[in-house]
Structure 1
Amino acid sequence: MKLSALFLGASVLALSSCSKDELHDVKPKDAAADSSLAEVRAAWGKFVSDVRAGKLLDPEGQYVKDGTIVPSDGKSERAHRPKFDAQRRDMKTFATFGFGNEQHLMLIEEPIDGGGYGGGGGYGGGGGTSSYQGFASSENLAAYTGSDNPSGFIYDLKITKGGDAPLDGYTMVPVDLNRGAGGQYIYLTFTRNPNKVQKGSEWDNYCMNGTFNACSGREVVGPVRAIWSEAYNTGGAFHAWPGFTFPTWAPNGLGGWKQPDLNDGAGGDYIYGYQSKDTRDGNPIEVGVVYGSSSSVAPPTGWVRQGVDLNKGAGGDYVYFCYKRR
């Protein structure tokens, strides 16, 4: 457990400056502390929004204007941006906020460690300090109760990039996976309708190897049962699919599929997403995305944070896939 210092001034921005949809607050017991923390969270949220809109420059270089592209050949190691928890930013950022140093507030910071594919690990719900965070998920979206899927499970995941609309029958989880880091607009999408599932390269002949519904021993038909992400220093080359997963494909514009880099255009590590439909990975899941200004950002109770930071090495917010068992 660490103590982190924040300097608060008289001109802290009001909570109303940020949308409720962007903030997921954990209320302290003390009313005065509640008000102070809400103001700090709101200020962080507005700061990030203003940088993304091009109204401010981040003095630390962590956040950039939306659409800022880092050149890349898609294979070589890329430049990395600095990244800090909100509690560890130096006074240049707080000066940008217009904070003074009239009040010195000590806040407890509790990073959470753990997580691992297929092992039930990850980050549980709850927690939080002064950092702002947000969360969006598939839960209660795009309901489906057809006879081929009466429980309304998610049957497939795909990625949409560059402002493209989701594929027919797919619904977008409304969080940019490059949030705050520039690059391409990238979103996770899902479908619950088995008849709308678009078969990706997991159905290629080299993978199916003469079998049906299985790719190299992994099941590729049925409800989604796991979501995952991995980070690599280089891109373009074939990377082994973790466990029983296969990639969350994106259209390649030529009638086929590609494994999309979830840091595309933002620099940093090459990030790839994966899904599993294999019964060995447990019951079906709902999917979500949690984001915020702290590495300890956590989804609501009942959800599990999974995989790596989807902005790893690219600055911006901390962004993670999440899941919830059905």
Structure 2
Amino acid sequence: MAVTNLTVLESDQATPPGWTKIGVDLNEGAGGEYLYFAYELDGTDRPITDIYFLIGEDLPTPPGYEKISVDLNKGAGGTYIYTTFTRAAGDPIQDLAVISSSDPGANPPNGFKRIDVDLNTGAGGKYIFLCYRT
């Protein structure tokens, strides 16, 4: 199985049919909008092989990446953070998880790698990290 699509759900936005919503608020403890990652496994698109966060408001999307146009600090202040991903050659991402912790060095779940970008940067609240498994 591989992750073939990724999105950010806002507030009570419905999870698309067949997708998995990760039930950790990306603004936990910081106020702002309730935001959640959701992903699709084994859809019709090619697998996602890398996820990269843009830290800033008007940064260009890296070549070959798709941008999700939702600021992960929406309504919470803090730094503008946008999610991008690619389907380029590489190991497909098999699973995703979000960790929320008061510890900036929180370890990812067993078998996962943590992307070292606090998704609450500048907004206070918990340290929020996206983790993936290939």
2:51 pairs, out of 207, 223, 227, with: 227
Q: What is the one-letter code of the residue matched to 1:317?
A: K
Q: TM-score, normalised by structure 2?
A: 0.90
Higher helix share: 1
How many matched pairs?
133
Structure 1 consecutive aligned stretches of length 4 or more whose deviation exceeds 4 Å: none
> 1:266 maps to what in 2?
76
Contact 1:227 1:322 in 2 (8 A): no
Q: 2: distance between equivalents of 1:243 and 1:307? A: 21
Residue equivalent to 1:203: none
Residue pairs, 1:1-326, within 5 angstroms: 152-195=1-44, 221-232=45-56, 235=57, 237=58, 239-242=59-62, 244-247=64-67, 249=68, 259-279=69-89, 282-285=90-93, 286-325=95-134
**Which amino acid in structure 2 is aligned with residue 265 of structure 1?**
G
> How far apart are residue 225 of structure 1 and its match?
1.2
Amino acid at match of 2:15: P
Mapped contact 1:227–1:321 kept (Cα < 8 A): no
In 2, the alpha carbon distance for the partners of 1:292 and 1:229 equals: 19
Query: CA offset at residue 223 of structure 1?
Result: 0.7
> Distance in 2 between the 1:306 and 1:226 partners?
10
Using structure 1 for the length normalisation, give the TM-score.
Answer: 0.39
Give the strand-richer structure, 1 or 2.
2
Between the aligned residues of both structures, percent identity stands at 35
Contact 1:226–1:323 (Cα < 8 Å) also in 2? no
Aligned to 1:215: none
Deviations 1:108-131 (A, max 9, x none): xxxxxxxxxxxxxxxxxxxxxxxx
State the shift of 1:244 in Å. 3.6
Q: Name the CA distance, whole Å, in 1 between partners of 2:62 and 2:132.
A: 17
With over 3 angstroms needed to count, the CA separation of the structure-2 counterparts of 1:295 and 1:191, relative to structure 1, is same
Q: 1:159 offset after TM fit, Å? A: 0.8
Distance 2:129 2:52 in 1: 9
- Segments of structure 1 that go 5 or more residues without pairing to the other structure are 1-151, 196-220, 250-258
CA distance in 1, matches of 2:11, 2:120: 16
Q: Offset at 1:169?
A: 2.7
CA distance in 2, matches of 1:307, 1:183: 22
Give the CA deviation at 1:241.
1.8
- Read off the aligned partner of 1:192 and give its amino acid letter: L
Q: Over residues 167-212 of structure 1, what are the superposed CA-to-partner deviations in whole Å (9 max), with x where a residue is unaligned? A: 23322011111111111010000112425xxxxxxxxxxxxxxxxx
Residue 62 of structure 2 aligns with an amino acid whose one-letter code is P
- Distance in 2, Cα, partners of 1:299 & 1:194: 26
For residue 194 of structure 1, give the secondary structure of its aligned residue in structure 2.
coil
SS of the residue 1:155 aligns to: strand
RMSD: 1.6
Q: Deviations over 1:63-86 (max 9, x none)?
A: xxxxxxxxxxxxxxxxxxxxxxxx
Contact 1:177-1:186 at 8 Å conserved across structures: yes
